[in-house]
Amino acid sequence: MKILIPIKRVEDPECNIRITPEGTGILQEGLKFKVNPFDEIAVEEGLRLVAKHTGEVVVVSIGGKETHEQLRHALAMGASRAIWIHHTEPVDQMSIAQLLAKVVEEEKPALVLMGKQAIDDDQNQVGQYLAEYAQMPQATFASKQEALDSEAEKSKQPGIVLSADGAFVSITREVDGGLLQVECTLPAVVTVDLRLNQPRYASLPGIMKAKTKPIKELSCAALGIAPSNHLRIQKLVKPAPRKAGVIVPDVASLVDKLRNEAKVL
């Protein structure tokens, strides 16, 4: 099966995000970048599915030349090839989904796997927009019943189950109040949650091999899309910090504070 996996270059979640003096962007100095952690889980799941059923994992990203770092990382994990949509201007979730829908039209994957959200915008939208534009079913927040330290996870089995005839996939979704098991006819868009799997590290041979794997360049114009930016950031602010608390010596003084100061008991 062919699996298309959109990945995003994002700030390392360990980085301290600082706002520029004008308050319209973030300071680039000292930032490190990574593959969006949710997308990395999607790559891992794609590789497991392909290992079990044969096929290929194709990764795609939108951005400037620096995006190659993340594409190479996915190739080092084991993806077969990469597509780079060269675009450096800010772009909204609608346009990202429209660009991806064009790639889907060209590549005709059986499955699009991607993170449920990117850890920079935290919008949680692109997979759903894409499913609508590509007229595919969607299963968001893919997870599994087994815990990440279970035997099932250690055996590197995919959590997404392909039917014997390859016509549909079964997904366990994380929803409010429990887990919902759904079945989607392929082709489909599946967005992944944190507990689907534990992504592998790129091996040294994998990193060496990735250097020779192809990255195909595409432009928005070639895809017939004029990207928009309908989501305009007017100002970024730091949330008000909580006032400094106190360390209490024992349970008795904690209960006293909660009762008489915070008045919550």
Partner 1 sequence: MAVVLIFAETQNDGQLRKAALHALTAGKALAQALGGQLHAAVLAPHAEGAAEEVKGYGVAQVHAASAACFAHNLAEACAPALAQLAQSIGARFIGGAATAAGRDILPRMAARLQAAMASDIMSFEVEGGEVTWTRPMWAGSVLAKVALGTPTQVFSIRTTEFAPAEKTGEAGVVKVFVPNLPATLPSRIHAFIAVKSIRPELTEAKVVVSGGRGTRGDFGPLEALADSMGGAVGASRAACDAGWMPNDLQVGQTGKVVAPQLYIAAGISGAIQHLAGMKGSKTIVAINKDAEAPIFQVADYGLVADMHDVLPKLRQAIEALK
List the interface residues with partner 1, window 24-43 (CB under 8 A): 26
Q: Is 205 in the site for partner 1 (CB under 8 A)?
A: no
Nearer to partner 1, 18 or 65 (CB): 18
The end-to-end CA distance of the chain, in Å, is 58
Mark residues 62-101: x for contact with partner 1 by CB under 8 A, - for none: ------------------------------xxx--x----
Q: Which two tokens stand for residue 43?
A: 């790559």
How far apart CA 164 and CA 231 sit, in angstroms, is: 43
Q: Closest separation between CB of residue 92 and partner 1, Å?
A: 6
Q: Closest separation between CB of residue 55 and partner 1, Å?
A: 21
Whether the Cβ atoms of residue 103 and residue 83 lie closer than 8 Å to each other = yes
Among 206, 193, 184, 201, residue whose Cα is nearest residue 148: 193
Q: Is 245 in the site for partner 1 (CB under 8 A)?
A: yes
Q: Closest separation between CB of residue 11 and partner 1, Å?
A: 7
How far apart CA 125 and CA 104 sit, in angstroms, is: 17
Nearer to partner 1, 17 or 208 (CB): 17
Which of 41, 77, 138, 160 binds partner 1 (CB under 8 A)? It is: 138
Instruction: Name the DSSP letter for residue 65.
Output: G
Which of 164, 221, 226, 264 binds partner 1 (CB under 8 A)? It is: 264
Q: DSSP per residue over 152-212, as a string?
A: HHHTT--SSEE-TTSSEEEEEEEETTEEEEEEEESSEEEEE-GGG--PPPPPHHHHHHHTT
Q: Closest separation between CB of residue 80 and partner 1, Å?
A: 27
List the interface residues with partner 1, window 155-174 (CB under 8 A): 170, 173-174
